[in-house]
Amino acid sequence: FSACVRDSRQPIKVCLMDQRRLAGVGNIYANEALWRAGIDPSREASSLSLGESATLRHELRAVLTASIEARGTSFR
């Protein structure tokens, strides 16, 4: 995951939503994961540390898991 996002000079939110890099992450999921990880969505993806990448990966998985359990977005 870290290598996938950290080799991009795009904003991290754009990088997360790039389906060629990471499938299934849309606007709501990217926003929620970035908020939970405490990362500014406009920040350049390559500027993330390994620790921040690991935190973002963890939060993204948590958001996606919650949305699957809720049969859609986790926000009703």
The rounded distance, in Å, linking the Cα atoms of 62 and 76 is 17
- Check if the beta carbon of residue 30 is closer than 8 Å to that of residue 73: no
Does pTM surpass 0.85?
yes
The rounded distance, in Å, linking the Cα atoms of 64 and 66 is 5
Q: pLDDT digits over 21-46, tens only?
A: 888 899 999 999 999 999 999 999 99
User: What DSSP character marks residue 46?
Assistant: G
Name the residue with tokens 């963890």.
58
Structure tokens at 47: 């500027």
High-pLDDT (> 70) share of the chain, %: 95
